[in-house]
Amino acid sequence: MRKAEITENLNRVRERIVTCCGACGRGEGEVTLLAVSKTKPASALRAAFAAGQRDFGENYLQEALEKQAELSDLPIRWHFIGPLQSNKTRQVAEHFQWVHTVDRLKIARRLSEQRPAGLPPLEVCLQVNIDAEESKSGVAPGELPQLAQAVAELPNIRLRGLMAIPAPRGERAEQRAPLEALASLLQSLREQLPGAPLDTLSMGMSADMEAAIEAGSTMVRVGTDIFGRRD
């Protein structure tokens, strides 16, 4: 995809965010756009950066590390948003600023232990399996309070909020239901952990971004509508 197309697509997505925030009484600065760049070449990320994009989400560790090396001259904020196994935690802890897919204490402990001393704490979201789908990762809502309590006590990482990938739904009202459920879970955690900086709801993608913003999302993860369909 040409640089001009990426710029046009980014502007279109930003306009959607501004319009939706205005319609539901939120400030446009309350929602961060995370450009999901998995399978896209480093040149596409460079084009998006030139158009003002700073936060990029990657699903595949090796692919992300190669892009990071190629784009080391750019102050990109890298978010890991893919499934996270134990054998990947060290490199994720060393090379990313955010991780959205922590769903068990073992992974959180490894990230905390392996975060280099010279780096700021790793920003972490807990992934919630909000629709109880067998095919998806994520902690069950009923197990979330115990996990959040334990993760919040770890050094070298900061628990920032929750992430979810709801099952696809057609109508916006239907889309909002699981997103509002995630927002309610975060509010409960704020009451449980008053000292934690729980300010992040990572939810909403190309197809349900408006519903997510209406439900309180603070970070939308958009790939297709910026970079086109994945390769």
pLDDT at 231: 62
pLDDT at 64: 97
**Total-model pTM:** 0.95
The label of the residue with tokens 């998806």 reads: 136
Indicate whether 231 belongs to any domain: no
pLDDT at 229: 80
Indicate whether 230 belongs to any domain: no
Indicate whether 183 belongs to any domain: yes
Indicate whether 194 belongs to any domain: yes
Domain count, the chain: 1
Indicate whether 11 belongs to any domain: yes
Counting every residue, how long is the chain? 231
Indicate whether 177 belongs to any domain: yes
pLDDT along the chain (231 residues), means of 10: 93 96 93 96 97 97 98 98 95 98 97 97 96 84 96 97 90 89 96 94 94 96 90 62
- Tell me the CATH number at 125: 3.20.20.10
**Using CA atoms, how far apart are residues 92 and 173, in angstroms rounded to an integer?**
36
Indicate whether 196 belongs to any domain: yes
Environment class of residue 4 by beta-carbon count within 10 Å: exposed (0-12), middle (13-18) or buried (19+)? exposed
What range defines the domain where residue 95 resides?
3-225
SS3 category, 93: helix
**Using CA atoms, how far apart are residues 42 and 25, in angstroms rounded to an integer?**
36
Indicate whether 37 belongs to any domain: yes
